[in-house]
Amino acid sequence: MLEAQGPSPECERRSQRPSEANYTGQMLEVWPGLYLGGAAAVSEPDQLRAAGISAVLTVDSEEPSFKAGAEDEDLWSFFVPALDKPETDLLSHLDRCVAFINRAHDDCRAVLVHCHAGVSRSVAIVTAFLMKTDLLTFEEAYGELQNIKPEAKMNEGFEWQLKLYQAMGNEVDTSSAIYKQYRLQKVTEKYPELQNLPQELFAVDPTTISQGLKDQVLYKCRKCRRSLFRSSSILDHNEGNGPVAFVHKRMTPPFVYHLSCTSYFIEPVQWMESTLLGVMDGQLLCPKCGAKLGSFNWCGEQCSCGRWITPAFQIHKNRVDEMKMLPVLGSQTRTI
Q: What is the pLDDT, as a whole number, of residue 116?
A: 92
Q: For residue 288, what pLDDT band results from cuts at 50, 70 and 90?
A: very high
Confidence tier at 257 by pLDDT (50, 70, 90): low
Question: Averaged over 58-68, what is the pLDDT?
Answer: 79
Is the pLDDT at 131 greater than 70, yes or no? Answer: yes
Calculate mean pLDDT across residues 48-65: 88
Domain borders along the chain are: 22-172, 199-335
Separation of alpha carbons 122 and 21, rounded Å: 17
Position 215 scores a pLDDT of 63
Give helix 156-167 / helix 121-134 axis angle, nearest 10°. Answer: 20
Geometric angle at alpha carbon 334, from 282 and 218, rounded to 5°: 50
**How high is the pLDDT of residue 223?**
96
Residue 63: per-residue pLDDT: 86
* 115 classed as catalytic: yes
Q: What is the mean pLDDT of residues 64-89?
A: 79
Local structure of 26: helix, strand or coil: coil
Q: Determine the 3-state secondary structure of 17 from DSSP.
A: coil
The β-bridge partners of 23 are 28
**CATH second-level architecture of 22-172?**
Alpha-Beta Complex (3.90)
Contacts of 48 (CB under 8 A, 6+ apart): 2, 41, 42, 54, 56, 70, 75, 112
Q: Is pLDDT at 193 greater than 80 in this prediction? A: no
How confident is the model at residue 47, as a pLDDT? 77
Query: Choosing from 97, 108, 115, 303, which is the catalytic residue?
Result: 115
In the chain, % of residues over pLDDT 70? 77
Residue 175: pLDDT band by 50, 70, 90 thresholds? confident
The answer, yes or no, to whether residue 20 has pLDDT greater than 90, is no
Q: Which of 69-73, 233-237, 310-314 has the lowest mean pLDDT?
A: 69-73
CB 127 within 8 A of CB 36: no
* pLDDT of amino acid 46: 75
The three-class DSSP label of residue 259 is: coil
CA distance 204 to 155: 35
Weakest-pLDDT range from 30-34, 60-64, 140-144: 60-64
Reading across the β-sheet that carries 27-31, which strands appear in turn?
22-24, 27-31, 34-37, 110-114, 53-60, 76-81
Position 254 pLDDT exceeds 70 = no
Closest CA to 111 of 150, 49, 57, 157: 57
Burial, 94: exposed, middle or buried (Cβ in 10 Å; 0-12, 13-18, 19+)? Answer: buried
- What average pLDDT does the segment 156-184 reach? 93
